[in-house]
Amino acid sequence: MPVVTLPTDFNEEQLYVDLRPLLGHPLYLKCEGFNFAGSIKLKAALEMVEAAERGGDLTPDSILIESSSGNLGVALSVIAASKGYGFLCITDARCNLSARRLMEALGSQVHIIAEPADDGGLLGARIDYVRACCASDDRYVWLDQYTNPNNWMAHYHTTAPAIARQFPGLDVLFVGTGTTGTLMGCARYFRDARPSVRVIAVDSVGSVAFGSPPGRRMIPGLGTGVRPALLDESYVDEVVHVEEADTIRACHRLARHGFLFGGSTGTVVSGATNWLARHDKHELTAVAIAPDLGERYLDTIYQTNWLQDLYGEDILGPDELTADLGRG
């Protein structure tokens, strides 16, 4: 049996869900939420922290500071608590309440940005606040997930090789787009190790990552209001954009079969399903990465009142709702 002394010592890498019976297309979902941070972000957080320690940027008096929509903030909270660092997470109102409470329970501080910046929206405003904090107190250490190469290196060293070992005949890999750390780590690895694998980026409608116009995005995790500095489009074979309504439908469809996943996973599954419906002319081996689980979304994606307030009463039909969580 596994016995750990640090929360970062455990991270399940080999769990996949076969979605063919549910979707009607061959798709294996790599589940990344089974660790003490509850998401794939634990890998990038640990790689960035350890690199900062090796470089001498982190000292016992340091206070980690980072902009996060939720999952990276929770991952850094876990690491900061285990290593004895302070941590201040800068987020905005789209961050799920449960994620904020998790960070605070782990001893971190959370600051919520309410007003978007003129250039860059809420993400731009979060980054501006981080920079102001760092300028005011030299104890703050900003890992900067948006430009830090250790973000993508974490997935080059772990996530992608794990998929390659499990699926030697892999044809296509679907990866969500946020900071593009996971996307670029996986895309770079497969370009080097197995260039026949097609890497499909899945992004949210309203995200500017690939040059689309900005739009309203209410589900945290994927999509961005600022073009990701880590992104190199030459490594990406194709981009699929997903409407938030389709993200929500995919989440509820999975939940009706007992799989409660988060919004990022719903986006990736929806994008992969649509792509496979257009391209599955022969037996493909396809994998999609599920960044997190669904418990942190109970007050949003799985809450009827939240859904109807933002997307209208017809967002889900009676046969699509998992449960009437908002009125129980």
Contact 249, 316 (CB under 8 A): yes
**CB 89, CB 68: distance < 8 Å:** yes
CB 57 within 8 A of CB 181: no
Alpha-carbon span 275 to 260, nearest angstrom: 22
**C-alpha span between 269 and 40 (Å, rounded):** 16
Cα–Cα dist 132/61, whole Å: 19
Kindly state whether residues 27 and 87 are assigned to the same domain.
Answer: no
Same domain, yes or no: 171 and 195: yes
pLDDT at position 328 = 38
182 and 156 together in one domain: yes
- Residue 1 belongs to a domain: no
DSSP 3-state assignment of 152? helix
Tell me how many degrees the CA angle 87-223-318 measures, rounded to the nearest 5: 110
Q: Domain check: are 24 and 49 in the same one?
A: no
Q: Do 100 and 221 fall into the same domain?
A: no
**Which residues sit opposite 174 in a β-bridge?**
200, 288
For 151-192, what is each residue's pLDDT tens digit?
A: 999 999 999 999 999 999 999 999 999 999 999 999 999 999
**For residue 325, what pLDDT is reported?**
45
Tokens of 76: 């850094």
In the chain, how many domains are there? 2
Asked, for residue 101, whether it belongs to a domain, the answer is: yes
Whole-number Å distance between alpha carbons of 49 and 221: 21
pLDDT at position 265 is 96
Residue 156 contacts residue 65 (beta carbons within 8 Å): no
pLDDT digits (tens, 9 = 90+) for 91-118: 998 888 999 999 999 999 999 998 888 8
Does one domain contain both 211 and 230? yes
Model pLDDT, residue 326: 44
Q: Are residues 232 and 314 in the same domain?
A: yes
Q: b or e along 33-44 (b: 16 or more beta carbons within 10 Å of the residue's beta carbon)?
A: bebbbbbbbbbb
Are 52 and 30 part of one and the same domain?
Answer: no
Q: What's the rounded Cα separation, in Å, for the pair 13 and 197?
A: 20
pLDDT score recorded for residue 222: 85
| Res 322: pLDDT | 59
What is the C-alpha separation between 100 and 73, in angstroms, rounded? 8
The last residue of one of the domains, among 125, 142, 159, is 142
CATH number of the domain enclosing 204: 3.40.50.1100
Per-residue pLDDT of the chain (328 residues; tens, 9 = 90+): 789 999 999 999 999 999 999 998 899 999 999 999 999 999 999 999 999 999 999 999 999 999 998 999 999 999 999 999 999 999 998 888 999 999 999 999 999 998 888 877 888 899 999 999 999 999 999 999 999 999 999 999 999 999 999 999 999 999 999 999 999 999 999 999 999 999 999 999 999 999 999 888 888 878 887 899 999 999 999 999 999 999 999 999 999 999 999 999 999 999 999 999 998 767 899 999 999 999 999 999 999 999 999 999 888 876 665 554 444 3
Q: Which domain holds residue 92?
A: 41-142
Alpha-carbon gap, residue 8 to 119, rounded angstroms: 36
CA-to-CA distance for 110 and 127, rounded, in angstroms? 14
How does 14-23 read in b/e, with b if 16+ C-beta sit within 10 Å? eebbebeebb
**In a domain? residue 2:** no
How much is the pLDDT for 120?
78
Which helix (H) or strand (E) segment is 200 a member of?
strand 198-204
